[in-house]
């Protein structure tokens, strides 16, 4: 008996999306009001976090 090979074995693909688009979706979906200032703040955190990798 063979085990299934096509069901549930796929890996999610990393899709790059601009941070501004993610913020837009968050604002629409959760009723938040993130601004460009918040986006810059998040980008600074990302830069600092990934600099040590």
pLDDT at 26: 93
Segment 1-51, tens digit of pLDDT: 556 566 665 666 788 888 889 899 999 999 999 998 998 998 899 899 898
Residue 23 phi/psi, 5-degree rounding, is -65, -40
8 Cβ contact partners less than 8 Å away, ≥ 6 residues apart: none
pTM of the model: 0.55
Residue 7: predicted pLDDT: 62
What is the rounded distance in angstroms from the CA atom of residue 18 to the CA atom of residue 31? 19
pLDDT value, residue 24: 93
pLDDT of res. 10: 63
Determine the pLDDT at residue 33.
95
């Amino acid at each position: 008996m063979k085990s299934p090979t096509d069901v549930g074995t796929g890996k999610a693909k990393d899709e790059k999306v601009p941070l501004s688009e993610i913020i837009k979706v968050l604002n629409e979906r959760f009723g938040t009001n993130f601004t460009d200032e918040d986006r810059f703040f998040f980008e600074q955190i990302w830069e600092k976090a990934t600099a040590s990798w």
